[in-house]
Amino acid sequence: MKLSDVIADFISSSLSESGECEIGRNELAVKFGCAPSQITYVITTRFSPNQGYIVTSRRGGGGYIRISRMCCDRRQTIMHIVNSIEGEMDANTADIFLKNMTGYDYMTKDEAKMISAAICDGSLKNIPAESRAFVRADIFKNMLISLL
């Protein structure tokens, strides 16, 4: 398991109880024996608003990073995701959205599997490569809307 996965798992487990955690970037870096920039990387790539988190920070002595899980109902969350998808979407981004939505019980694993199958590269193989990300985004948004 990569260090970034271990750090993300630690933060996720800290969030499990209350849906919010406060961390010191330097303290966490010492705990995991890495540079503080590694902590920043994990937070920015794994705990973004598109993934259902709000991150706030205070700099300076006694500074902290607060990560909070967004609390929205299923409909609001799905519409937020639909509205956040612009013209194109890669398969990895779609997988992250699906994983988060099943993790929050906003969709079943079977629904996520069907959406994933519809937007995977294999399903889009007859679409020109330069258009696949646009088609994937359109299919993804329409399938999410159909869940409402």
- Both 140 and 79 in one domain: the answer is yes
**Can you say whether the dihedral through the CA atoms of 136, 52, 35, 2 is positive or negative?**
negative
Structure confidence at residue 70 (pLDDT): 74
- Both 135 and 79 in one domain: the answer is yes
Task: Per residue of the chain (148 residues), give pLDDT as tens.
Answer: 789 889 998 998 888 667 788 888 888 999 999 998 899 899 988 888 777 788 888 776 667 888 888 766 788 878 888 888 888 999 988 988 898 888 878 899 999 999 999 999 999 999 999 999 999 999 999 999 999 8
Going by C-alpha positions, the residue among 110, 76, 112 that lies closest to residue 94 is: 112
Range of the domain at 46: 3-69
Structure confidence at residue 89 (pLDDT): 92
Indicate whether this model's pTM tops 0.95: no
- Both 106 and 123 in one domain: the answer is yes
Q: What HEC string does the chain produce? A: CCHHHHHHHHHHHHHHHHCEEEECHHHHHHHHCCCHHHHHHHHHHHCCHHHCEEEEEECCCCCEEEEEECCCCHHHHHHHHHHHCCCCCCHHHHHHHHHHHHHCCCCCHHHHHHHHHHHCCCCCCCCCHHHHHHHHHHHHHHHHHHCC
- Both 53 and 108 in one domain: the answer is no
Report the DSSP beta bridge partners of residue 23: 65
Structure confidence at residue 64 (pLDDT): 81
- End-of-domain residue from the set 20, 40, 69: 69
- Both 44 and 86 in one domain: the answer is no
- Residue length, the chain? 148
Domain total of the chain: 2
